[in-house]
Structure 1
């Protein structure tokens, strides 16, 4: 799937987010290009800090510097992690392709591509994230946004990186859903006593070989999730830090504008920052929750199979089924950011609760 999208995704290499090609020569040139992007962002940060705008209140100045530094560090992490993992990226693409072939060949499933809803969501978010850069540009030209111009490239890189991450996670979630649907077919056949006419051969679905193929497909999926977490874990963690700080700070500035501390035109800039940030957090957590729940469904289907034994089953089938259940319980299919957090609804609620806490702290300091 990613190989079929590569002719379009390779243009994200202009931001250093994907390798341009599998050629070692092209990858060496791209590493130099990505390093130059890092140097540009670091130089912009150093120059901007060396010549600060001292007319800003001290609290606003400190908050601006923290957010600015977080964005620069996030971009450095994203680009460095991709620079050292160009080959692993194509290995990840190949693993997705091999898993699709297994689902089509051994499990007799039509994999196909992503749904039009997924493409519409990813493209809509990408275009929306680009369009929301217009209001802060307008405000920065007419008034002044501290550190906006030096951080413009980092904002663009982070937002496009989020779009790519959403595409990858949707792709992983689709494969988990396909495997779950196939297990549901097996469960239906077992409950009907292998007398249904599903796919023309229900006896094959109830066979030991088919269960073994399902078990191996789940293990391949687990390795795919593990590879994804290793490939993008630090990038996801740093992106969440930036999204959290950026949205919290801009919510605070929105409150300050409503309190008539700043000009009302700053609302255009604050809304165009915290709304996309909250949208990314919400959508990404929901996609991770979808993968987690599909894995739980797979476990529930297997437990239902074990609770409805059939006299025609071989003893080896029941043993393999128990091994499969243990595998699903221990090898969770979840998006994990280097062990710091799992991307699901609980993370979403934790971030929202922390956001409220820090907003209260900022408001108390501003009133001092």
Structure 2
């Protein structure tokens, strides 16, 4: 699935987000130089713009501006550096997705195919939305004074496009977990029917020991795929979440300042075009992560229900393998984790919302001083 998108994904190399070439060492070296140039360019642009602050800017807003855009510069450096260091790991990750899909098709007789059109539509809509919502900020920057916007425009593009790419990868992982869960559900239903079902007109039975072993091995490979994704994009997820959280929180604060007539109403275009897509991205990514965790829970639920079936107790080898499988699923959860700092799920979304309220209250209290 991911390999079918490679002709399009490779253009993200212009932002330093994916390797341009898999085998050409010279091309990879040139792209590493280009990635280093992007990092230096971001830092230099911000360093130049910070030396020409606007005298009319309130101190608190000036300080908040600097903090937000420094966070973006650091986040971009983390994203680009992580990809520079893990070029080979990126292609290994893509190959692992391909091999897992082949294993699901050959051993479990699951038709993997491509992503559903709904997934393509969601990813495409988010990508276009991230680009289109830059237009109001550009309009305000051209017709007024939007501090540090131009120096951070490249950073905003890199961060938003990286987020879209990570959503695509997580959607792929969630689909594989869903396919494995559905096949386990078929095994459970087959046992409930008394093992009177066959697998797609194949001689092998769903209730066989070999099929359960294949399911167990596929789950372990899927867990390693989740782990590889977390290792490959963990710091990028963390940095992106920090930027999206600070961006959305600060721009809600600036919206309140505009409504209080501290700033002109034209700035509402810029603030809405920042905190709305930031909040949507946070929401969507948390929901994708929650979907993966739920699939992991459903897999464990199917296995535990299977272990209670009366026929299982009469087959010692099948029961022992099933017990090992249950322990494997309970210990190896399919989660999206950012270097151990947080899991992407609904609980993270609620924590972010609570933190937003707290920081907004603090900012409003300082602005009234």
**Contact 1:139–1:268 (8 Å) recurs in 2:** yes
Counterpart in the other structure of 1:294:
295
The TM-score normalised by the length of structure 2 is 0.98
Counterpart in the other structure of 2:368:
367
Counterpart in the other structure of 2:320:
319
Displacement of 1:189 in angstroms is 0.2
Paired with 1:223 and 1:71, the residues of 2 have a C-alpha distance of: 31
**Contact 1:208–1:317 (8 Å) recurs in 2:** yes
Counterpart in the other structure of 1:33:
34
Counterpart in the other structure of 2:170:
169
**Contact 1:222–1:333 (8 Å) recurs in 2:** yes
Are 1:91 and 2:117 an aligned pair?
Answer: no
Counterpart in the other structure of 1:332:
333
CA RMSD of aligned residues (A): 1.1
**Contact 1:281–1:348 (8 Å) recurs in 2:** yes
Q: Per-residue CA shift, 1:175-227, capped at 9, x if unaligned?
A: 00000000000000001111235523586110000000000000000000000
Paired with 2:308 and 2:204, the residues of 1 have a C-alpha distance of: 19
Counterpart in the other structure of 1:10:
10
**Contact 1:189–1:202 (8 Å) recurs in 2:** no
Q: Per-residue CA shift, 1:20-67, capped at 9, x if unaligned?
A: 111221111100011100010010111122222232010000000000
The TM-score normalised by the length of structure 1 is 0.98
* Structure 2 residue runs without a partner (length 5+): none
Distance 1:339 1:311, change over 3 A: closer
Paired with 2:190 and 2:291, the residues of 1 have a C-alpha distance of: 26
Paired with 2:322 and 2:313, the residues of 1 have a C-alpha distance of: 15
Are 1:24 and 2:25 an aligned pair?
Answer: yes
Task: Output aligned runs, 1:261-280, within 5 Å.
Answer: 261-280=262-281
Q: Could you list the runs of 4 or more consecutive aligned residues of structure 1 that deviate by over 6 angstroms after TM superposition?
A: none
Paired with 1:311 and 1:262, the residues of 2 have a C-alpha distance of: 71
Displacement of 1:309 in angstroms is 2.8
Secondary structure of 1:71's counterpart equals helix
Counterpart in the other structure of 1:140:
141
Q: Per-residue CA shift, 1:213-245, capped at 9, x if unaligned?
A: 000000000000000000000000000000000
**Contact 2:312–2:319 (8 Å) recurs in 1:** no
**Contact 1:17–1:78 (8 Å) recurs in 2:** yes
**Contact 1:176–1:221 (8 Å) recurs in 2:** yes
Displacement of 1:4 in angstroms is 1.7
Between stretches 311-320 and 281-290, larger displacement belongs to: 311-320
Secondary structure of 1:310's counterpart equals helix
* Structure 1 residue runs without a partner (length 5+): none
Paired with 1:189 and 1:322, the residues of 2 have a C-alpha distance of: 19
Are 1:219 and 2:238 an aligned pair?
Answer: no
Secondary structure of 2:61's counterpart equals helix
Paired with 2:163 and 2:363, the residues of 1 have a C-alpha distance of: 27
**Contact 1:122–1:167 (8 Å) recurs in 2:** yes
Counterpart in the other structure of 1:306:
307
Counterpart in the other structure of 1:184:
185
Q: Per-residue CA shift, 1:266-302, capped at 9, x if unaligned?
A: 0000000000000000000000000000000000000
